[in-house]
Amino acid sequence: MLRKFAAPKIFYPLAGKLMPWFFWTFAVLGAVGLYWGLMLAPVDAVQGQAYRIMYVHVPSAWMSMMIYTSMAVSAAAVLVWRTKVAEYWLLCSPGLGASFTFITLVTGSLWGKPMWGTYWVWDARLTSELVLLFIYFAILAMKGAIPDRRKAARVMAMITVVGFVNIPIIKFSVDWWTTLHQGDSIFRKGGPSIAPSMLVPLFMMALSFSSYYFWLVLKHIRTLIERSAA
């Protein structure tokens, strides 16, 4: 069933149909979410106005992990079935993943300065996000070193899978230091500890960011299909 959609002949028009939906979700929710988050949402009782950087920081952090997970899934498909569309997905994703990881680190630093008094600490979350950025870089470096796209995809798949196994271990290894980053306030037992008027725009931004990613990946994959057909 899934493999049927993975055939480039079927995937190409399907992606073409989905792209405008992703684009408009990205544009509309992004505009509404940003305006709501930055202008309408109430001022935080503890963090004041500074918390509003959350509307970029948190969705980017989610994206950095979501993109890696999607890469790990496609890596499995590449290694087991040599699925072409999965290869394309793997080739298109790490650049975007690295960008979102970079945005997460930069916005996090800017948020850290007023809240913690420092741009950077070697705490568990920050360190594992930085290592994630380095893993993205490693995958991109390998991609750049191999001219043959299919072979590059399989090499990238190997590193992605090993990295995916490694990420919880990295998280665990750095968790042994005490952590400064605030705990989870959204996906936690007993429901979110954020007021709905702050939470709704956050989810809008998350949806907008992921639509942006899907829109770009589909666009890129269609280009790769066109190029391989030509």
Partner 1 sequence: MTENGFTLRRYFFFCLRLLFRQRRDVALPLFFFLLVSSLFPLAFANHAVPLLAPAALWITLLLSVLLSLDNLFREDVEDGFMEQLMTARQPLGLLVAVKMLAHWIAYILPIFICLPLTGLWYAMPSDTLFVLALSLLLGTPTLLALGGLAAALAAGLKQGGTLLILVTLPLATPVLLFGLTMVDMSQNGLSYAAARDFLAAMAVVSVGVGPLVTAAALRIGMD
Residue with smaller CB distance to partner 1, 47 or 99: 99
Query: In the complex, what is the shortest distance from the CB of residue 96 to partner 1, in angstroms, rounded to a whole number?
Result: 19
Alpha-carbon distance of 1 to 136, in angstroms, equals 31
- The one-letter amino acid code at 215 reads W
Query: In the complex, what is the shortest distance from the CB of residue 225 to partner 1, in angstroms, rounded to a whole number?
Result: 22
Alpha-carbon distance of 76 to 205, in angstroms, equals 29
Residue with smaller CB distance to partner 1, 19 or 79: 79
Query: In the complex, what is the shortest distance from the CB of residue 15 to partner 1, in angstroms, rounded to a whole number?
Result: 27
The CB density around residue 64, as the number of other CB atoms within 10 Å, is 23
Residue with smaller CB distance to partner 1, 154 or 219: 154
Are residues 35 and 52 in contact, defined by beta-carbon separation less than 8 angstroms?
no
Query: In the complex, what is the shortest distance from the CB of residue 181 to partner 1, in angstroms, rounded to a whole number?
Result: 17
Nearest CA to 208 out of 11, 62, 85 is that of 62
Residues near partner 1 (CB under 8 A) are 79, 131, 134-135, 137-138, 141-142, 145-146, 151, 154-155, 158-159, 162-163, 166, 169-170, 172-174, 176
Exposure string of 21-31, with b = 16+ CB inside 10 Å and e = fewer, is ebbebbeebbe
Residue with smaller CB distance to partner 1, 65 or 207: 65
